[in-house]
Structure 1
Amino acid sequence: MEIGRVIGRVWATKKDEQLNGQKFLVLKILLEQGKEKPELIVAADIIGAGVGDLVLVVRGGSARYAVGNPDCPIDSAVVGIVDSIEVEENE
């Protein structure tokens, strides 16, 4: 799983039939240490996230199962909205 921020929406009138009814969001994946620039992805939204939300994202086979169709041609899915993050640093 990864954490991303919703920065926009995608509308596609012509698409694979299996994508009908799916809502698509543009996400900026939070930077991992060592990465130079943020990654932008499009993800299917199964929980009703909105622009500005911090979200949990799954990719690959997990994303297809999250939408309930392992044959669906998606690679990313939003599966949760983050309320808060707590990190304890051990020295």
Structure 2
Amino acid sequence: MRIGTVVGNIWATRKEEGLQGLKLLIIQPKKTNGQLADEQIVAADRIGAGVGDDVILTMGSAAVRSFSKEVICPIDAIVVGIIDGSDE
């Protein structure tokens, strides 16, 4: 899992059927020193994160497995938590 900050939203009227109904967010991951990384990741969100929220992401096959076994969703990353606080 990784930690990042939501920096934007993505809207797509035409997308893969498995993405229908999913909110897509632009996440900027955080480095181990807490600074934002240069890269950005597009992540699916089913829990209601918004711009400015610090979030927990899971990526790769773990993201796909977050859906039911019957649903194959073409995603690389999904938001699995909104961070309320941490001991850094």
Distance (whole Å) between structure 2 residues aligned to residue 8 and residue 79 of structure 1: 17
Number of equivalences: 84
What residue in structure 1 maps to residue 60 of structure 2? Answer: 60
Distance (whole Å) between structure 1 residues aligned to residue 68 and residue 5 of structure 2: 23
What residue in structure 1 maps to residue 44 of structure 2? Answer: 44
What residue in structure 2 maps to residue 4 of structure 1? Answer: 4
Please report the RMSD computed on the Cα atoms of aligned residues, expressed in angstroms: 1.5
Runs of 5+ unmatched residues, structure 2: none
Distance (whole Å) between structure 2 residues aligned to residue 8 and residue 67 of structure 1: 23
TM-score (norm 2): 0.87
Distance (whole Å) between structure 1 residues aligned to residue 40 and residue 5 of structure 2: 10
TM-superposed CA distance for 1:38, in Å, is 2.4
TM-superposed CA distance for 1:26, in Å, is 0.3
Runs of 5+ unmatched residues, structure 1: none
1:80 matches 2:81: yes
Alpha carbons 1:11, 1:24 under 8 Å: kept: yes
1:3-42 mapped onto 2 (5 Å cutoff): 3-32=3-32, 37-42=37-42
TM-score (norm 1): 0.84
